Amino acid sequence: MRHTAWVERRTTADVDVLDLTDEVRAVVADSGVRDGEALVFVPGSTGAITTIEYEPGVVQDLKDAIDRMAPRDMAYAHDAAWHDGNGYSHVGAAMLGPALTVPVAEGHLILGTWQQIVLVDLDNKGRKRRILVRIAGEQ
């Protein structure tokens, strides 16, 4: 069985980290799947999906790490070609990746106690993001 839903969130400029865990849990509950997998995917080349402990310190640490991986003040060939100033966004998103798969057992996401599913929007302007959540498995 498969069940697909979309989660919509608005983001702010630069690195915005948003907790999606409750929305993904709701999709799992609506799906009726007892054992399977939850795929969470953000279309686009400047957004990413990952897990963190969603608390202010770790959120800031993640933002700082992303800035070290793909600094905003560096020259990017993308910016030279398109003049949109978000080359760092594309590079950072590629390093984090657009999707995450989480096991589902007994109708629940298998996450650690301090582990949440997050959208990381790295673009230099706010966006309306649509995140695909697809649940596959057995009832």
Identity of the amino acid at 82: W
**% of the chain exceeding 70 in pLDDT:** 100
Contact (CB, 8 A) for 4 and 133: yes
Residue ranges of domains in the chain: 23-138
pLDDT score recorded for residue 103: 98
At residue 14, the pLDDT reads: 87
Q: What is the pLDDT of residues 4-37, one digit of tens each?
A: 999 999 999 989 999 999 999 999 999 999 999 9
Residues 6+ apart with CB under 8 A from 65: none
Q: What is the CA radius of gyration of the chain?
A: 16
Q: What is the mean pLDDT of residues 95-124?
A: 98
Say whether domain 23-138 belongs to CATH 1.10.287.3510: no
What does the pLDDT average to over 107-129?
A: 97
pTM of this prediction?
Answer: 0.95
pLDDT of residue 95: 97
* Band of residue 86 on the pLDDT scale cut at 50, 70, 90: very high
Cross-strand partners of 116: 52
